[in-house]
């Protein structure tokens, strides 16, 4: 059997890089339970509207209770101030009448003495009203006015009443005007254990009627009269507010809590509508959107952000569907060709060209799978960032330009490089940058007429690499579309000569992974691509 001629030697097929294992997403440690949740577990289980209503009601209860306390205290303080004024006026009235500086008004003075604790210190010694007889030692510390006291002298002294030591005597039941007098023992019980202010005034006494007998007029001298500032009326006036305040404070808190409940329910209604609509989204690309409220508030921004997220998910799902469909379509041609070649090799006579065609189809299939795996790795959000090391772009481009005639023998373009005299380095992954530049040069060589020119320029903070070919220009409408995956501007080209349509897509993704950009730049003739990388 004659030997078969050796098939032509084909370029070595690079090994398909292994798909890196997707690193396990590190599990975040479970956050420690909140202190509030530990202390009040029931609070975190309540609905939002209930918590808002309870918090608002509690705050209203505190504020209303504080206001009620202030009102009660203010009424009591005002009444006590009025009581001090009345006691001072009564003290002056009693002093003037006893001193004989005005006509006796027995009814007025008697009423004052009958209804108030009164102490009169005069030339004949102290006189206590019948209300103070139950406290014989309570007013011993009261002193008369000083000798130098001027007319109109007034003072306030503090007296501490202990436990009544004796019963009241001479307990009148009515004043001289016929008004009922409170029971002496009842008033003594009110004074027991109390600290009371005594309003005092002083006056110089003389006989009102010189012809009157001595027993009908007080002896001459200085009289000091003390009248107690009782708290009874002030306490009764303040306590009269308690029933109304006890009703108003809880009622106000309840009204605030109900208002908060209703307001929160209305505020959360758009949130419930968003939740209901999101619950119907069972797969990306369904086109479902949540309603956006008219009010410009946080919920409106939440709805817009949700719709933007759904837009991105739908766009991502569309890209995935197109990617899968395009990948299946691209893989079908080399797989079909490989199968046909193998069927011919099995059923027909063995020919070197048949095996060479099978190897060529396998090589194309391997390159396509390699591109797909590269895109899959670049799309993996959890993949580790590219390793960073200084990369000499000038040397890397020179190497690729020397390799290009061997890897693209069909491209007979003249290759040039215009670079600064110094080395141009950028931080990045050497393998990924090599792949990026090789894709750009392969694309330029495939579409060039006679020339491919590469230039490197240094800019503040950036390195600009321009790859220009003198082939057909790129229409302005297609300058972004050519970076889409599986995009070929010349649809008439065969898939064997036109590439897979993934080279530029991979190049742009690699540029973005290095925080750079890749775009079509205007050119006088042909097409030019501008790559910008941070220095």
pLDDT in the model for residue 71: 92
Say if residues 167 and 134 touch (Cβ distance below 8 Å): yes
β-bridge pairing 389-392 and 195-205:
unpaired
Q: Which residues partner with 363 through β-bridges?
A: none
Which tokens go with 259?
Answer: 């208002």
pLDDT in the model for residue 275: 83
| Architecture of the domain delimited by 387-534 | 2-Layer Sandwich (3.30)
HSE-CB of 317 using CA atoms within 13 angstroms: 12
Rounded to the nearest 5 percent, the helix, strand and coil shares of the chain are 50, 15, 35
Per-domain residue ranges for the chain?
Answer: 68-239, 284-383, 387-534
* Phi and psi torsions of 323, nearest 5°: -65, -45
pLDDT in the model for residue 174: 43
**Model pTM above 0.75:** no
CA gap 535, 530 in Å, rounded? 15
What SS3 state is found at 9?
A: coil
Q: Does domain 284-383 have CATH number 3.90.1150.10?
A: no
Exposed e or buried b for every residue in 319-340, given b needs 16+ CB within 10 A?
eeeebeebbeebeebbeebbee
∠180-186-188 over CA atoms, to 5°? 115
CA gap 365, 199 in Å, rounded? 113
Same fold for the domain at 284-383 and the one at 387-534?
no
Ordered per-residue pLDDT tens for the chain, 535 residues: 334 344 344 344 444 444 444 444 444 555 554 555 566 677 777 888 888 888 999 999 999 999 999 999 999 999 988 988 888 888 888 777 766 655 555 446 666 766 677 888 776 667 766 666 677 777 777 778 887 777 778 888 888 877 776 655 544 444 444 444 456 667 777 777 788 888 888 877 664 444 444 444 456 677 788 888 877 788 888 889 899 999 999 999 999 999 999 988 888 888 888 888 888 877 766 677 888 887 777 888 888 888 888 888 888 777 777 777 777 766 776 777 777 777 777 676 666 666 677 777 777 777 777 777 777 777 766 667 767 889 999 999 999 988 888 777 666 678 889 888 888 899 999 988 998 999 999 889 888 888 899 999 999 999 999 999 988 888 888 888 888 877 776 643 444 455 667 889 889 989 998 899 999 998 888 899 999 999 8
Q: Closest Cα partner for 116 from 175, 58, 163, 202?
A: 175
**Which single residue is written with the structure tokens 């032509």?**
8
CA gap 506, 513 in Å, rounded? 11
């Amino acid at each position: 059997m004659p030997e078969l001629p050796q098939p032509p030697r084909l370029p070595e097929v690079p090994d398909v890089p292994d798909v890196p294992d997707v690193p396990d997403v590190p599990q975040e440690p479970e956050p420690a339970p909140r202190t509030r949740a530990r202390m009040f577990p029931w609070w975190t289980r309540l609905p939002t509207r209930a918590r808002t209503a309870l918090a608002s009601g509690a705050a209203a209860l505190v504020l209303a209770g504080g206001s009620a306390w202030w009102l009660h205290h203010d009424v009591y303080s005002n009444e006590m101030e009025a009581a001090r004024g009345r006691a001072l006026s009564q003290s002056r009235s009693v002093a003037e009448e006893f001193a004989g500086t005005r006509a006796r008004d027995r009814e007025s003075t008697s009423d004052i003495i009958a209804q108030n604790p009164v102490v009169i210190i005069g030339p004949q010694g102290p006189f206590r009203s019948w209300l103070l007889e139950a406290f014989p030692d309570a007013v011993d510390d009261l002193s008369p006015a000083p000798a130098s006291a001027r007319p109109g002298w007034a003072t306030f002294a503090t007296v501490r009443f202990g436990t009544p030591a004796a019963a009241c005597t001479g307990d009148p039941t009515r004043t001289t005007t016929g008004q009922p007098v409170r029971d002496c023992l009842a008033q003594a019980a009110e004074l027991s254990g109390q600290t009371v202010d005594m309003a005092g005034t002083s006056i110089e006494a003389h006989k009102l009627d010189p012809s009157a007998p001595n027993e009908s007029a007080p002896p001459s001298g200085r009289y000091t009269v003390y009248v107690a500032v009782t708290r009874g009326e002030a306490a009764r006036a303040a306590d009269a507010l308690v029933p109304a305040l006890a009703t108003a404070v809880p009622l106000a808190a309840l009204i605030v809590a109900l208002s908060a409940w209703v307001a929160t329910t209305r505020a959360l209604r758009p949130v419930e509508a968003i939740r209901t609509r999101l619950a119907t989204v069972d797969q990306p690309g369904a086109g479902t959107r949540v309603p956006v409220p008219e009010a410009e508030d946080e919920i409106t921004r939440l709805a817009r952000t949700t719709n933007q997220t759904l837009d991105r998910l739908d766009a991502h799902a569309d890209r995935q569907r197109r990617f899968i469909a395009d990948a299946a379509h691209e893989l079908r041609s080399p797989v079909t060709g490989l199968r046909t070649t193998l069927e011919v090799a099995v059923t027909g006579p063995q020919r070197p060209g048949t095996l060479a065609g099978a190897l060529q189809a396998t090589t194309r299939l391997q390159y396509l799978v390699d591109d797909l795996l590269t895109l899959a790795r670049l799309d993996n959000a959890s993949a580790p960032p590219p390793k960073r090391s200084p990369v000499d772009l000038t040397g890397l481009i020179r190497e690729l330009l020397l390799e290009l005639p061997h890897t693209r023998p069909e491209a007979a373009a003249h290759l040039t490089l215009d670079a600064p005299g110094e080395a141009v380095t950028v931080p990045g992954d050497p393998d990924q940058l090599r792949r990026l530049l090789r894709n750009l040069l392969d694309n330029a060589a495939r579409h060039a007429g006679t020339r491919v020119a590469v230039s490197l320029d240094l800019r503040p903070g950036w390195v600009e690499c321009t790859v220009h070919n003198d082939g057909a220009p790129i229409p302005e409408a297609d300058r972004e579309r050519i970076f889409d995956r599986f995009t070929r501007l010349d649809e008439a080209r065969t898939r064997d000569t036109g590439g897979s349509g993934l080279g530029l897509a991979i190049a742009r993704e690699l540029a973005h992974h290095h925080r750079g950009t890749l775009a079509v730049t205007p050119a006088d003739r042909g097409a030019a691509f501008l790559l910008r990388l941070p220095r």
